Structure 1
Amino acid sequence: MPNDPSFTAPGRFWKGNIHTHSTRSDGMRDAADVCATYREAGYDFLALTDHFLAKFGFPIVDTRPFRTPGFTTILGAELHAPSTALGEIWHILAVGLPADFAQPASGESGPQLAARAIEAGAFVAIPHPGWYALSTEDANTIPGAHAVEVYNHTSQLRTERGDGVYLADQLLAQGRRINLIAVDDAHFACADAFGGWVMVKAERNEPEALLAALKAGHFYATQGPLIHHIAWGEEEVEVTCSPAAAVMVLGRGSRAVQSVGAIQTRVSLKLAALRAAGPFARIVIADEQGRRAWSNPVYF
């Protein structure tokens, strides 16, 4: 079994939110205030990803002036184009875009726009699939996407559709190799900040290093619980974490092995049932409040 590079790569973990909005699109706070809010909350980095739409002037907000010692930003946007299988406008999260990324061309589709963002160097994710019922067929038209949002805090608070695990697991069961992120998608119209984030393993808290680590899958997603280490073996996986009520290893379909208890910080779980089903396994931990942390998948 390969080890999860989130825990074997050099560096340390940096806390960041990579889906956020400001008054440059439909958020309630200006960019400076949004950056200050996350910095003061103890985040190491932030990607401000305003809606890349004509009515907002196709913003890729320059957040470089809001970087401080210990806090950095990555440029990005939430891209849009017609249309999903349900006729919804596409939402495509692109983190690490160049400031001069061109606005969508006439007739450019969502998959074409996503491909262009990837070509421009962005980390591209499929955001809030539960919110607008994105199908696996839709997701398969973006084969280069790096990740799926398995948790979107704003979508959960406002519509109870913040969970994207269903899509991630269907893609993984098909053999797709894709990672898992959690985000706020904060607009600040309600208490929609600080509900989900990524912990990125990198040697430096700098945009280029963080972006490279995101693309390489050197991160895990969380609502609060910490995953300290995951050691994958041929027969079992050992997880070290903050106090957890449940530690799970999940695989294809219904395959799952779990350990449940009041306080668990080191757990070993058998892999035989998951290896027999293939092709992947991933770790989830949950604390006593029900908050979860998700590892990226590994592959048999």
Structure 2
Amino acid sequence: MFDLPFDRPGRFWRGNLHTHSDQSDGAWPPEKVARHYREAGYDFLALTDHFRAEYGFPLTDTRALRTSDFTTLLGAELHAPITEIGSSWHIVAVGLPLGFRPPVPGESGPELARRARAAGAFIGMAHPAASLLTLADAESLDAAHAIEVYNALAAREDRGDSWHLTDVLLSRGHRLSTYAADDAHFQPQDPPGCAAWVQVRAESLVPEALVSALKAGHYYASTGPELHDVRVDDGWITVRCSPVRKVLITGGTPGLQVVEGKDLSEGTLPVTMFAGGYCRVTVEDASGGRAWTNPIRLEPRAPVSIEA
């Protein structure tokens, strides 16, 4: 699992890891996409156009769009046949080098992901629920650093949330971090961009620092609330955040710990001995927006009881 990032050096930088432009099937040119996120208060953006033959295998070069207070990460959404149910893999690769070679005939999704990871990329399973990934599919993608637990574009089809598969993988011992993304294409029928993002803890806005922090799991994901601090101490977990109506702790066993109220900005809950030795924190605000920590490593200990 992952160490909490809140007391690490540096600060949080807001960014989107899964975005498309007119270099593949998006509606806007890269310049307009970057300006949209920069003006919305984002610190960085990964343009991940579909790395397919029909688009000329684009690895969109966004280096010229970087400014002193906004940067871009080079990446792509990689594809290869075939999953158990779907016709193609969807794999987010952020931090790819220019010149990354297109898939060769017969190269599988897991093989392509391994090659991208070896080239230095942060690898994510894109929208598993929308792609109908099975457990066997997910376990075969052994190069993945992370799983896309929320995809705002897929939410319009009621398949935006992929936490069920994620918790099964975590309970089986897979070490995966968890990110949210809007998968924006800016087509007229699509939900607006800037609907889901990550907050990455790093010492600078240098692309290499951001990619390293992503690989280490030093970030949290959100569709609205801010997490200011989360810490585990002597069997209790304390959460400080922007005002929310609910703070939840879940883990590898059915059930949860929850505190609810109006305009909560802090919650302290006991950490029981979740199966698999991990838990995660979710907060939910009054409008239904959520923020999620990465899976938190728990030391083996006896369950903590609550006295009435």
Which TM-score bucket, shorter chain as reference? Answer: over 0.9
Is the partner of 1:6 in helix, strand or coil? coil
| Counterpart selection for 2:279 from 274, 281, 284 | 281
Q: Which deviates the most, 190-199 or 66-75?
A: 190-199
**Structure 2 unmatched runs, 5+:** 299-308
**1:162 is the counterpart of 2:160:** yes
**Structure 1 unmatched runs, 5+:** none
Identical residues among aligned pairs (%) = 48
Q: Which runs of structure 2 are paired with 1:260-299 in the superposition (5 Å)?
A: 260-272=260-272, 275-299=273-297
Residue 135 of structure 2: aligned partner: 136
Residue 195 of structure 2: aligned partner: 195
Whether the 8 Å CA contact 2:226–2:291 is kept in 1: the answer is yes
1:125-151 C-alpha deviation (Å, 9 max, x unpaired): 001011021111101011221111111
Query: By how many angstroms is 1:4 displaced?
Result: 3.2
Whether the 8 Å CA contact 2:251–2:274 is kept in 1: the answer is no
Provide the TM-score with structure 2 as the length reference.
0.94
**1:219 is the counterpart of 2:216:** no
Report the RMSD for the aligned CA atoms in angstroms.
Answer: 1.2
Letter in 2 for 1:201: R
Whether the 8 Å CA contact 1:20–1:50 is kept in 2: the answer is yes
Letter in 2 for 1:282: R
**1:44 is the counterpart of 2:43:** yes
Residue 70 of structure 2: aligned partner: 71
Whether the 8 Å CA contact 1:185–1:192 is kept in 2: the answer is no
Residue 114 of structure 1: aligned partner: 113
Query: By how many angstroms is 1:5 displaced?
Result: 3.2
In 1, Cα distance between equivalents of 2:283 and 2:249: 9
Q: Which runs of structure 2 are paired with 1:3-82 in the superposition (5 Å)?
A: 4-82=3-81
Whether the 8 Å CA contact 1:18–1:48 is kept in 2: the answer is yes
Residue 254 of structure 1: aligned partner: 254
Whether the 8 Å CA contact 2:80–2:107 is kept in 1: the answer is yes
Residue 97 of structure 1: aligned partner: 96
Runs of 4+ in 1 over 3 A off after TM superposition: 2-5
- How many residues get paired? 296
In 2, Cα distance between equivalents of 1:29 and 1:253: 44
Is the partner of 2:164 in helix, strand or coil? helix
Query: By how many angstroms is 1:299 displaced?
Result: 2.2
Q: Which deviates the most, 97-106 or 251-260?
A: 251-260
In 2, Cα distance between equivalents of 1:28 and 1:182: 21
**1:86 is the counterpart of 2:85:** yes
In 2, Cα distance between equivalents of 1:107 and 1:188: 33
Query: By how many angstroms is 1:276 displaced?
Result: 5.0
Residue 237 of structure 1: aligned partner: 237
Q: Which deviates the most, 109-118 or 148-157?
A: 148-157
Letter in 2 for 1:56: Y
